[in-house]
Amino acid sequence: MRNVFVLDTCAPIVGSDVVVCRTESELLERWADFVRRADPDILTGYNINNFDLPYLLNRAKHLGLKRFSFLGRVATAASTVRETVLQSKQMGKRENKAGAQHTYNNKI
């Protein structure tokens, strides 16, 4: 079963559980609760480290959702974003801004 989290309304999607939320805060909280319950080994997606997760963490912080960043298996450890730089003779210097590599660390 696929899960789809939406704001306001959405037409039914075959093979999916559509979770309808009234506010962005509710959507983020319900998604974070889903991630905690599902307890995935990894989260993956296209550009998830460079955009999606940093965006979600920043939106949750902006909205004052204090529990949102606790997405990992250690219940007392918040997920954070740390910008890094990758440099090699072959690839050159890659700073992580728009296409930057972000790492997520659980810190106690």
Residue 64's H or E segment, with its range, is none
Any residues with CB less than 8 A from the CB of 96 and at least 6 apart, and which? 50, 83, 84, 85, 102
| Domain layout of the chain by residue ranges | 2-107
**pLDDT score of 16 more than 80:** yes
pLDDT in tens, 36-70: 999 999 888 888 888 899 899 999 999 999 999 99
**pLDDT score of 23 more than 50:** yes
Mean pLDDT over the full length of the chain: 84
Statement: 2-107 belongs to CATH 3.30.420.10: yes
